[in-house]
Amino acid sequence: MKDSEHPFFRPLWRRVAVVAVCVIWSAIEFVTGTPFWGVIALGFAGYAVWQFFYLYKPADETKAATEAESKE
């Protein structure tokens, strides 16, 4: 998913907000008695954590690292 590297997600607070919305949505679904949709929302939250915190590398950092390697 290359969209996770979109400049919109560069600020940390936006990535945290996306995960928080998914977790809150999941909690609401479980409280209202619809566990199927709660599990779906938890899946979205887990995938967002994976993409936005584990695999996330901002475009500027990767370009800077590539440029530094090429200068050496």
Confidence at 40, pLDDT banded by 50, 70, 90: very high
* Direct distance between the N- and C-terminal alpha carbons of the chain, in angstroms, rounded to an integer: 31
Task: Read off the tokens for 19.
Answer: 């995960």
pTM for the model stands at 0.72
CA distance 60 to 51: 17
Domains of the chain, residue spans: 7-55
Report pLDDT for 71. Answer: 64
Is it the case that residue 47 has pLDDT exceeding 90?
A: yes
Mean per-residue pLDDT of the chain: 83
Q: What percent of the chain has pLDDT over 70?
A: 76
How confident is the model over 6-12, as a mean pLDDT?
Answer: 84
Give the model's pLDDT for residue 34: 95
